[in-house]
Amino acid sequence: MKVTVVGAGAVGASCAEYIAIKDFASEVVLLDIKEGYAEGKAMDLMQTASLNGFDTKISGSTNDYAKTANSDIAVITSGIPRKPGMTREELIGINAGIVKTVSSNLIAHSPNVILIVVSNPMDTMTYLVHKTTDLPKHRIIGMGGALDSARFKYRLAEAMEAPISDIDGMVIGGHSDTGMVPLTSHATRNSIRVSEFLSEDRLEQVAADTKVGGATLTKLLGTSAWYAPGAAVSALVQAIACDQKKMFPCSTFLEGEYGLNDICIGVPVILGRNGIEQIVDIPLSDTEKNKMQESAAGVTKTNSLLSL
């Protein structure tokens, strides 16, 4: 199993590290446009192999896509991250050009690749890949919901003073401060609804804190976060590589599901060796349906900024 990660920056390197530590891929290629950067990160990571006990071979490449040839899975993290006070949508101008070039280079060298798009604004970048390449939709996956759901579970566990392993919950919708739809009514602690433990006000606070999870970290760090994003990407890569059939909310092209068309947005999907093997169309409450419609309107507005 060969995995390429484009962008050897904060998220790309973290993602490569988690993939290596989980030791399910034979090879990870890190590629970056900055001279020597990916080679340096790859060498540093390889020097953790004997310490962390993995056999995955990590190599680096300065913009040479021949080294990525025949990748099974490729992750696109190349592009600029946001700075404090910025929205993800403000990154569109620079990142759209990068994502378009990178995706076409990847596909030229790995025609059977499954692409995972991470660069922001992620739903719009996923839509861009859908519109500008010939890849079938089950091989174009946007990562956002897996991270947002991990942040939701963190906030729920914090509010209930419970271990995170007790908590289950999911965030669907657009990967933006206003677009996320935390499915509070479906969240549970050991199969008991979280509303049995937390007041409506506290649950609203949890949902609000989840939605600004990325912005909170960007303010603290001065740039956007990388550990949880890298871990979330590695979980998607593992689900595909190991044919796990696991369910994650991912951005995918919708054709009628959730009443939406011609948009990539976060909904629950099953991931296996073919990429997105099923879109899970769960019934939503009227409030959740309205939030999903509002979220989709926001993503469509950002999509309209693309010159397709």
Ligand X SMILES: NC(=O)c1ccc[n+]([C@@H]2O[C@H](COP(=O)([O-])OP(=O)(O)OC[C@H]3O[C@@H](n4cnc5c(N)ncnc54)[C@H](O)[C@@H]3O)[C@@H](O)[C@H]2O)c1
Site for ligand X in 34-73 (CB under 6 A): 34, 37
Binding of ligand X by 124 (CB under 6 A): no
Residue closer to ligand X, measured from CB, 56 or 68: 68
Return the active site residues: 175
Site for ligand X in 219-238 (CB under 6 A): 223-224, 226, 229
Binding of ligand X by 143 (CB under 6 A): yes
Binding of ligand X by 141 (CB under 6 A): no
For residue 214, the minimal CB distance to ligand X (Å) is 7
- Of 61, 68, 71, 119, the one binding ligand X (CB under 6 A) is 119
Binding of ligand X by 144 (CB under 6 A): yes
Site for ligand X in 2-21 (CB under 6 A): 6-12
Site for ligand X in 245-284 (CB under 6 A): none
Q: Which stretch binds ligand X (CB under 6 A): 47-55, 74-82, 201-209, 296-304?
A: 74-82
Q: Which stretch binds ligand X (CB under 6 A): 96-104, 157-165, 261-269, 274-282?
A: 96-104
Residue closer to ligand X, measured from CB, 118 or 237: 118
- Measured in residues, the chain has a length of 308
**Dist. CA 265–CA 183, nearest whole Å:** 15
> What HEC string does the chain produce?
CEEEEECCCHHHHHHHHHHHHHCCCCEEEEEECCCCHHHHHHHHHHCCHHHHCCCCEEEEEECCHHHHCCCCEEEECCCCCCCCCCCHHHHHHHHHHHHHHHHHHHHHHCCCCEEEECCCCHHHHHHHHHHHCCCCHHHEEECCHHHHHHHHHHHHHHHHCCCHHHEECCEEECCCCCCEEECHHHCEECCEEHHHCCCHHHHHHHHHHHHCHHHHHHHHHCCCCCHHHHHHHHHHHHHHHCCCCEEEEEEEEEECHHHCEEEEEEEEEEEECCEEEEECCCCCCHHHHHHHHHHHHHHHHHHCCCCC
Residue closer to ligand X, measured from CB, 233 or 284: 233
Residue closer to ligand X, measured from CB, 101 or 287: 101
For residue 275, the minimal CB distance to ligand X (Å) is 17
Binding of ligand X by 79 (CB under 6 A): yes
User: Interface with ligand X by CB under 6 A: which residues?
Assistant: 6-12, 31-34, 37, 77-82, 91, 95, 98, 101-102, 118-120, 122, 143-144, 147, 175, 223-224, 226, 229
